[in-house]
Structure 1
C-alpha cells in the first residue's frame, strides 16, 4: 500500500499572482499483522501522478441564473464511465471557473517496502483569479488536487484546500518598479540587488492604499434637526484592522438616546445574473457596538474587521461591498434638563423619565475593505495545510 501525503509549504492563504508550493510524498507503507510478516512485503508501482489547481463556483439556483452558462459544469467536463483519467474536479459541485495546466509529477514509479519519493509541485495563480468567498448566492473555493493511479486500478484523488485574496492594481508590476537610471548603484556592493517579490510589492501597494489618514466629517440630521456629527479618520482598511470614529453631540438640536454601529457586507448579484428583476442584496453583519448617549457630549466607536472576512471584490456574477450601518434612537420631545445647584457643596440627582417618545433613523456609510498580509490570515485559518490518502 502506498500512502500519499500533501503539505502546502508556508501557509494556506495566498494572493492572486503568487506561487503556490506543495510538497508531495509517496511512501510504500509496510503493515504487518498475524497472518503476514514484513518479509512478504513487495515493491509497489504507480503508473503516474499529476497535480493541478482549480477553482469551483457554486451558485444558489433561486438567486443566480446564468443564461447562457459561461462555465461548464463538472458533470459536463467529467468523462462518463472513465475512472482512470485525471479529472481533478471529479465529484465536485458547481462549475470550474479556473483551472491551471496539469503538471506531471512522474511516470512509472516503483517503491520498495519502506521507501519514499518526495517531489515539490508549484504553480502561479493568475492575477485575474476570483477570490475565495462563501456567500449566500455565490461560493468560490480553491483546491490543489493530486491524482495518481496504480496499474489496472481507478484513479485516486487527494485535495488540499487553500484561500486566495485578490488585490487590485497588480496587473502591471512595472508601475511599481524603479527605472534602471534611478536605481542606486553601489560599487562596493558584491551581491547584486534582487528584485522584490510579488508579495513584497503587494504589501507596499496595500500599505499605500490603507495608511492614508484624512478625517471625514458627516453631519447626521433628521426631519427635526441635527442629531450628531460623526468623524471617520480614514476610508480604506485591511481585514484585521480596527475602524475608529468619533461622535460629537455638542451642537445637536435633537437629543439622541442611544446609537449602534454594525459592520456589514453587502452581496449583490449582477443584473444579468439575477433570477428576478430588482432582486435585493444579501447583508451579512459582523462586529457591532452600542452606546447609550443621553447627556453625552462626545464618544467614540471601535469596530474590528475579522481576519476571516472576505475583502471587497467584483466579478461577472457577484459584487461584494462594505459599509457601516448606523441606528440612532432620538427623542421627539426635549429631555428634562438637570438642575445644577448654585452651591457646589450641595448634591443633585436626576431621575430619568419613565417613558420617552422616540424615533429611529438608520444610515449606511460605505467604506473600502482590502486584503491583508496572507501570513496574518493564515494564522487564524481553519484550513489544514496537509492531508493524506492511501492508494
Structure 2
C-alpha cells in the first residue's frame, strides 16, 4: 500500500506573484517483511484555478479554455488531467512539473519532493460570490504502471494586489539608497511579499480625515468623520458622528459593511441585471439627544478585497441608514430645575422616515500569513494507492 501526502508548509494563503511551495511525500506503508517493493511510474504537480458561475446570472463567452466535461473526454484514465472531476471552467493552469519517473519504494521507505511554482500576478483572486466563484488547488498526479492515475488535491487561497507586475521598480538602486561611508553597503533585493506589504502599508496609511455633511430635504442630520478611505483585511473602520449641529432629530442610525458583486455587461444573462450585495458587519445605535458617538466595524480576514476580472467586479462600501423624526422631541433640559430628582421619558410614538447613503471605500489584501491564521482550509491532503 502506498500513501501520498501533499502539504503546504507556510499555510494555505498566498499573494499572487509569490512562490508557492508544496511538499509531497511518498511512503510504502507495508510492514510485512515479505511485502514486495512498490513501483510508481511517474508523478507530476501543477496549479489550477477553476471558475464556476450561476447559470441563471452569468453566461460565459466561448474561449480556448476547456470545461471539465470537455477535458475529461480528451484523455483516458491513465492521462494526467488536473481538472478532471472539477466543476466549472479552468481559467488558470500552470505547466506540470515532473517530480520523478520510475520510483521504487521498499516496505517502510519514504521519499519526499518539493514543488515550487510562482502564482501569476495576473491571476484572479480566490472568491466565493453569489454568482461567481474562483477556487485554487495544487494537484498532485501519480500512477502505477498501466493503472489509473490517482490525484491529491490541496486547496489554497490567493489574494491579489494590483501593481506587482514589476517588483524591480520598488527595489532600491545604489544611486538612490542611503549611504554610510563607515559601512559596507550590500544591495538587497526585496521579495514579492516585502514589496506587497510596503505598498499596502502606504496606501492604507492614515492621511487627512474625510468629513461628510449628511442632509436630506428638510435639513441637516449629522456630520460624519472618516479617518481614511483605504483599509486592509483585518483592520477596523473607525468613524465619528457629530449630531450637535443637526437641525433634524436623529433617532437611530446603522452602518453596514457591504460588498458589491457586479457582472460585466458581456457576461450578464439579462441586460437589466442588478448588482448583488453581501453584508458582513453591522453597527447599530440609538442616538436620541446624542451629541457625539463613534462606530467601529472590523473587516473580516476571510473576505475578498476589491478586484476586477473579465467576468466580475467586486467593490466595497459602507451602507448608512438614518431614522429621523418628523416631530420635535422634547429633551431632559425642558424639565423644571427645582432640585428634585425627575425622570425623562421619550415619546411612545414617533412619526419617522428613513434615509440611506452609500459611501465607497477601498479594501486591500493583508499579510497572507495573518490570513492563514483564521482560515478553515486544511494545509495537507493524502490518498492511499492499493494494487
Question: What is the CA–CA distance in structure 2 between the aligned matches of 1:196 and 1:381, rounded to whole Å?
Answer: 27
Question: What is the CA–CA distance in structure 2 between the aligned matches of 1:107 and 1:190, rounded to whole Å?
Answer: 47
Spell out structure 1 runs of 4+ moving beyond 4 A: 184-191
What is the TM-score normalised by the length of structure 2? 0.96
Given that 2:156 and 2:377 are in contact with CA atoms closer than 8 Å, whether structure 1 keeps it comes out as: yes
For 2:33, what is the secondary structure of its paired residue? Answer: helix
Give the equivalent residue in structure 1 for 2:216: 222
Question: What is the CA–CA distance in structure 2 between the aligned matches of 1:113 and 1:135, rounded to whole Å?
Answer: 47
Question: What is the CA–CA distance in structure 2 between the aligned matches of 1:51 and 1:195, rounded to whole Å?
Answer: 29
Give the equivalent residue in structure 1 for 2:13: 13
Verify: 1:172 aligned to 2:166, yes or no: yes
Question: What is the CA–CA distance in structure 1 between the aligned matches of 2:331 and 2:19, rounded to whole Å?
Answer: 65
State the Cα RMSD in Å.
Answer: 1.5
Q: 1:303 aligns with which of 297, 309, 317?
A: 297
Question: Residue 42 and residue 267 in structure 1: after superposition, are their counterparts in 2 closer, same or farther (change >3 A)?
Answer: same
Given that 2:289 and 2:331 are in contact with CA atoms closer than 8 Å, whether structure 1 keeps it comes out as: no
Give the equivalent residue in structure 1 for 2:271: 277
Q: 2:57 aligns with which of 49, 63, 69?
A: 63
Question: What is the CA–CA distance in structure 1 between the aligned matches of 2:314 and 2:66, rounded to whole Å?
Answer: 24
Q: 1:341 aligns with which of 336, 340, 346?
A: 336
State which drifts further: 356-365 or 170-179: 170-179
Given that 1:312 and 1:321 are in contact with CA atoms closer than 8 Å, whether structure 2 keeps it comes out as: yes
For 1:39, what is the secondary structure of its paired residue? Answer: coil
What is the TM-score normalised by the length of structure 1? 0.95
Q: 1:377 aligns with which of 371, 379, 382?
A: 371
Give the equivalent residue in structure 1 for 2:204: 210
Question: Residue 186 and residue 30 in structure 1: after superposition, are their counterparts in 2 closer, same or farther (change >3 A)?
Answer: farther
Question: What is the CA–CA distance in structure 2 between the aligned matches of 1:69 and 1:119, rounded to whole Å?
Answer: 35
Given that 1:257 and 1:294 are in contact with CA atoms closer than 8 Å, whether structure 2 keeps it comes out as: yes
Question: What is the CA–CA distance in structure 1 between the aligned matches of 2:13 and 2:145, rounded to whole Å?
Answer: 35
For 1:182, what is the secondary structure of its paired residue? Answer: coil
Given that 1:74 and 1:92 are in contact with CA atoms closer than 8 Å, whether structure 2 keeps it comes out as: yes
Verify: 1:244 aligned to 2:238, yes or no: yes
User: Once the 2 structures are TM-superposed, how far is the Cα of residue 340 of structure 1 from its aligned partner?
Assistant: 4.1
Question: What is the CA–CA distance in structure 1 between the aligned matches of 2:143 and 2:331, rounded to whole Å?
Answer: 82
Question: What is the CA–CA distance in structure 2 between the aligned matches of 1:21 and 1:81, rounded to whole Å?
Answer: 28
Give the equivalent residue in structure 2 for 1:286: 280
Question: Residue 242 and residue 148 in structure 1: after superposition, are their counterparts in 2 closer, same or farther (change >3 A)?
Answer: same
Give the equivalent residue in structure 1 for 2:228: 234
For 1:262, what is the secondary structure of its paired residue? Answer: strand
Given that 2:49 and 2:134 are in contact with CA atoms closer than 8 Å, whether structure 1 keeps it comes out as: yes
User: Once the 2 structures are TM-superposed, how far is the Cα of residue 196 of structure 1 from its aligned partner?
Assistant: 1.3
Give the equivalent residue in structure 1 for 2:381: 387
Which structure 1 segments of 5+ residues have no match?
32-37
Question: What is the CA–CA distance in structure 2 between the aligned matches of 1:70 and 1:248, rounded to whole Å?
Answer: 56
Which structure 2 segments of 5+ residues have no match?
none
Question: What is the CA–CA distance in structure 2 between the aligned matches of 1:256 and 1:219, rounded to whole Å?
Answer: 14
Given that 2:33 and 2:107 are in contact with CA atoms closer than 8 Å, whether structure 1 keeps it comes out as: no
Question: Residue 14 and residue 222 in structure 1: after superposition, are their counterparts in 2 closer, same or farther (change >3 A)?
Answer: same
For 2:266, what is the secondary structure of its paired residue? Answer: helix
Question: What is the CA–CA distance in structure 1 between the aligned matches of 2:222 and 2:121, rounded to whole Å?
Answer: 43
Given that 2:206 and 2:227 are in contact with CA atoms closer than 8 Å, whether structure 1 keeps it comes out as: no
For 2:41, what is the secondary structure of its paired residue? Answer: strand
Question: What is the CA–CA distance in structure 2 between the aligned matches of 1:327 and 1:113, rounded to whole Å?
Answer: 68
Give the equivalent residue in structure 2 for 1:124: 118
User: Once the 2 structures are TM-superposed, how far is the Cα of residue 120 of structure 1 from its aligned partner?
Assistant: 0.3
User: Once the 2 structures are TM-superposed, how far is the Cα of residue 68 of structure 1 from its aligned partner?
Assistant: 3.1
Given that 1:56 and 1:142 are in contact with CA atoms closer than 8 Å, whether structure 2 keeps it comes out as: yes
Give the equivalent residue in structure 1 for 2:2: 2
Question: What is the CA–CA distance in structure 1 between the aligned matches of 2:111 and 2:182, rounded to whole Å?
Answer: 44
After superposition, give the CA deviation of every residue in 1:88-130 in whole Å (9 maximum; x if it has no partner).
1111000000010000000000011111111100000000000
